Amino acid sequence: MNARAEVTDFWAMVFNPSSVDRLLHVWTGAFLAGAFLVLSVNAYYILKNRHLAIAQPAFKIALGVATLFSLTQLFLGHRSAAGVSVNQPAKLAALEGHFDSTAVADMYILGWVDDETQKTTGLKIPGGLSFLLHGDFDTEVTGLNTFRPEDRPRQVNAIFQFYHLMVAIGLTLIALTLYASWQWFRGRLFDKRWLMYIFAWSVLLPQIANQVGWFTAEMGRQPWVVYGHLRTSDALSKAVSANQILFSLILFILVYATLLVLFLYLLNKKIKHGPDDDPTPETIGEGSKRDNPLFTH
């Protein structure tokens, strides 16, 4: 292959038809991770009745951001799924455990895929996937059986579960933020301690969604590294042995595990310490209430 063809292939791969959808979906996932971290830390302060002059307005700002991005993520997730149905149809079929091409495609809320018998069971909206992709409940959707066994992903149940967990978390984030926004509108946001408990733990949800989303995208694309062009088995380096890969993987795990422990330790210390320049660490002074336009609940 000449140099010009290699450069063209490189750009075609980087700016492939799914690049923009995926970039926006991952960015929004990162914004959600950030917004829910802020919500969590401030919910913790509110529960402990500490740093309220800062915690309550900060919670409200983060709630606005989280509500906006939770709703945006549903739209972007749908766009990603529509793109996958065109560019990676075998992956789309795996996401919903859809094997039979001649059938309309159901959308599962919860379910289980038996990889051996190729049967999917669970709570479903009949024709729901057909509707989401084609706007009517009766259109057929390409099933996994259209593809040769060597051209389709194997662990369909795992892909199905990761995908459905991501979507379930996405919908939970929407429900949670809309409910909290409604309480804010009614002036009752900080009255419900149980809601603050949920927000204190909610920091985990976008983190989990980002991980399982990534598993969905990567496992769903197998056996391809570049869908339809380059197989994972052909992308392996012949110069690097399996043991060398294992060794570097173990090193990476050790380095990142150490960084994670350090990060959690420092973050915890910082959260326990609280904002440096909070003038009223324990309670809200009337002055700070009056001066702060966001403090109106």
Dump the DSSP string for 202-218. TTHHHHHHHHHHHHHHH
Distance (Å, rounded) from C-alpha 152 to C-alpha 146? 9
Our finding on whether 25 is near ligand HEM (CB under 6 A) is yes
Answer for the pair 281, 274: CB distance below 8 angstroms, yes or no: yes
Measured from the CB atom, the residue of 35 and 54 that comes closer to ligand HEM is 35
Measured from the CB atom, the residue of 56 and 216 that comes closer to ligand HEM is 216
Distance (Å, rounded) from C-alpha 170 to C-alpha 207? 11
Our finding on whether 73 is near ligand HEM (CB under 6 A) is yes
**Of 78-86, 101-109, 257-265, 277-285: span binding ligand HEM (CB under 6 A):** 78-86
| Position among 60, 62, 66, 77 found at the interface with ligand HEM (CB under 6 A) | 77
CB of 274 to ligand HEM, least distance (A): 27
| Position among 34, 37, 64, 78 found at the interface with ligand HEM (CB under 6 A) | 78
First to last CA, the chain: 66
Measured from the CB atom, the residue of 51 and 164 that comes closer to ligand HEM is 164
| Position among 54, 104, 141, 169 found at the interface with ligand HEM (CB under 6 A) | 169
Binding mask 198-237 for ligand HEM (x = CB under 6 A): --------x--xx--xx-xx--x-----------------
- Can you read off the two tokens belonging to residue 37? 């971290």
The count of residues in the chain is 297
Measured from the CB atom, the residue of 62 and 209 that comes closer to ligand HEM is 209
Measured from the CB atom, the residue of 45 and 224 that comes closer to ligand HEM is 224
Our finding on whether 120 is near ligand HEM (CB under 6 A) is no
Residue 109 CB coordination number (10 Å):
13
| Position among 43, 159, 166, 198 found at the interface with ligand HEM (CB under 6 A) | 166
Return the half-sphere exposure (C-beta side, CA atoms, 13 A cut-off) of residue 83: 16
DSSP state of 140: B
Number of H helices, E strands in the chain: 10, 4
User: 120 has which bridge partners?
Assistant: 113
CB of 166 to ligand HEM, least distance (A): 5
Our finding on whether 85 is near ligand HEM (CB under 6 A) is no
Measured from the CB atom, the residue of 25 and 124 that comes closer to ligand HEM is 25
Our finding on whether 40 is near ligand HEM (CB under 6 A) is no
Rounded to 5 degrees, φ, ψ at 63 are -65, -40
3-state secondary structure at position 160: helix
Rounded to 5 degrees, φ, ψ at 148 are -60, 145
Distance (Å, rounded) from C-alpha 14 to C-alpha 18? 9
**Which residues within the stretch 172-191 sit at the binding site for ligand HEM (CB under 6 A)?**
173
- Can you read off the two tokens belonging to residue 112? 């289980």
Positions in the binding site for ligand HEM (CB under 6 A)? 18, 22, 25-26, 29, 32, 73-74, 77-78, 80-81, 84, 166-167, 169-170, 173, 206, 209-210, 213-214, 216-217, 220
